[in-house]
Amino acid sequence: MAKKTTGVLTGWVSYSWSKSERRFDHVSNGEWFPFEYDRRHKLNVTTNYTLPIKERCKFNKSFSINFTLATGNYISIGKQFYHAAPMPESFQTDADNTQYREYIESPNNFRMPAYHHLDISYALDNRKGKGSSWVFGIYNLYARKNPSVIYHKQTREGVTTRSWSLLPFVPSVTWSYHF
């Protein structure tokens, strides 16, 4: 990690490399497999620029940019499907009331795509220490659809792979009052 804490431009850059695996006697014949949250690489870049102070201005003004990039999580995903007797809580049944089940060869056998987003914010901090302060921000500025879930769905036509993303672009306004 490298950090700059003085001047009008401050911030830090951090990088981590890690590996996390699991092993259980009764899972995958006791072989090691990647842990779900094994994020091999993670990079964070944060910058904050404080605008010059004008005498008559009520607020200190600053602009921030944050970037996050990380290797995707591992998930367990099936490589083939087979017919099975229905389970009460399942919804994937066909006309003859049989279900499709996934054959998963080993746990956490698929790494999701890399995760990244860019966030920006503009802050107005009350110079007196008391009174109103504001922060205007945008999470995931370029609306990257980072998959939260990837799954297979079996139909009579075949298998389709689908993904679902959470929070592709989120603007925010924060108001606070200090006594």
21-57 pLDDT, tens digit per residue, is 999 998 888 999 999 888 899 999 999 999 988 878 8
Which range marks the domain in which residue 121 is found? 2-178
pLDDT (tens digit per residue) in 113-139: 999 999 999 999 988 878 889 999 999
Beta strands in the chain (DSSP E): 2-4, 9-17, 21-22, 33-34, 41-50, 59-70, 74-75, 80-84, 99-103, 110-111, 115-126, 131-139, 147-155, 158-165, 170-178
Number of domains in the chain: 1
pTM of the model: 0.79
